Chains A and B, each alone.
Chain A
């Protein structure tokens, strides 16, 4: 009879063999039959990454994508209960593998952000009318101390390439990768923000100033502090005017969940 530790050791050996061809197989295991599990494991992991990153696969091509997916699986063997998490961190692996083509990692980041926003927690965004009525009694100090909560799943990333155009061009399954080359901005002069509008994940590119404002507000800074940092770049009057326009647009886009101190009232 096996002991509990022997069962654990057997399962640990089984997993190690799935992950690594070089591991010695117990002499009394049937390699042909074990390979059914090894092949199924690899196919499942690659398929899961492919399902999450269809545009990235179209952009780099099937063979290069498959090699990258296998590399990712070796570097970061799955440990979550959900297959959906297998692709987590893939953009970091791609940034190393495609260091001369940094748009690849940016595109993968966008696909992952859209993937996670799709199943983020349901929440009703604050609409313009509610914001206007709720802030009607704000005094100056209320505006300065105001913080924002964004919809669950909202993510931000600075980008160097026009991944919006690339995203659209890769929507078709028969996309010809050689036909499109994304515009590159040097240095990074845009940010990409992803959120969920209703049931649909969406994104937009914003300029560097708005990207920095978003970054501050997503990190929980007060509106006053974010505007002060912005003012260092554009001056106080322009900062207040432009930040107001940004805030109005975020509310119009349905990105904001709550505003405090309005939230507390």
Chain B
């Protein structure tokens, strides 16, 4: 079983808009993260770009379709494609979300909320263990942003996540924007939530923007907002061996604008930056 090697550093999501810049010259990042599904293809330019970038810097494969929370179980055709990509790219690690996306009949292509019940937990842990066995990798799992809870929940989201990590051996991708979004939508303390997680299991941090409103929406189409930066500043000193990145999936700005945001992430986490440079 492959355990994710820790990586202290700062990175970006590799997006199509910036392919040429990544290919033309060394972009000042320690790693890139890609959406796995965009590269789980037979061939062509996306794979060529990814392989070229991978020759220079570590790559994280970040998926959105593993659907670890599905009561209908795992899609092993999907996992076989993912394994083939991972064998080819040799990523730093493979991550996905604490959510579900599909039934055996339909795929929502969205990160849907789980009920926080014992039954849902058992199902999730079972799926994580099967996926890890198949991929021969310990997974890194991202905390969700969510807009609704289910009546009958038997534990909090934080408790749900902590038990998954404890029982499956998976690691955590701490998305601080998701914490801010869910804390607002469900009325809990973002700080208490983060401090209650097993922070020693965090391998990666996502920083992203969202859309404000009565219900905050996790849109990844805006700069990181003030509340997320504040949470990051307070949490960063508690993390070690952690890869921090700016995540932008829509209204993608210039690379220089994203690098400016990443510079702020470095400035706000001198502990991580110091370890990275050491």
Contacts and interface: CB of A to CB of B under 8 A. Distances in A.
B143 interface: no
A2 B147 contact: no
A40 interface: yes
Nearest to B35: A83
Nearest to B101: A81
Interface stretch (A118-126, A165-173, A179-187, A246-254): A118-126
B86 to A, nearest CB: 15
B191 interface: no
Given A11-B100, A12-B103, A2 B109 contact: no
Interface string A189-231: 0000000100100000000000000000000000000000000
A121 B71 contact: no
Interface string B63-75: 0010000111001
A207 B154 CA distance: 67
A82 B46 CA distance: 15
B71 A4 contact: yes
A8 to B, nearest CB: 4
Interface residues of A, number: 45
B151 interface: yes
A78 B151 contact: no
A75 B179 CA distance: 36
B44 A120 contact: yes
Contacts of A37: 108, 110, 112-113, 147-148
Interface stretch (A26-34, A136-144, A235-243): A26-34
B103 A122 contact: no
Given A1-B118, A6-B119, A33 B45 contact: no
A107 B147 CA distance: 39
Contacts of B110: 18, 37, 40-41, 44
Interface string A4-27: 101110111011001100000000
B42 interface: yes
Contacts of B43: 119-123, 152
A36 interface: yes
Contacts of B112: 11, 14, 37
If over half of A's interface residues share one DSSP class (helix, strand or loop), that class is named, otherwise mixed; here it is: helix
A30 B150 CA distance: 9
Contact of B109 (A6, A12, A78): A78
A7 B106 contact: no
B109 A7 contact: no
Given A4-B123, A121-B43, A82 B217 contact: no
B44 A119 contact: yes
A2 B119 contact: yes
Contacts of A82: 37, 40, 65
Given A2-B117, A18-B108, 8 more contacts: A2-B120, A7-B117, A10-B115, A15-B108, A29-B151, A81-B75, A83-B37, A122-B47
Interface of A: 1-4, 6-8, 10-12, 14-15, 18-19, 28-30, 32-34, 36-37, 40-41, 44-45, 48, 77-84, 86, 118-123, 152, 196, 199
14 contacts: A4-B71, A4-B119, A6-B119, A8-B103, A11-B103, A19-B106, A29-B148, A29-B150, A36-B148, A36-B215, A37-B112, A48-B109, A79-B102, A82-B37
8 closest pairs, A vs B, by CB?
Answer: A122-B43, A33-B148, A8-B71, A119-B41, A121-B42, A119-B44, A7-B71, A36-B147
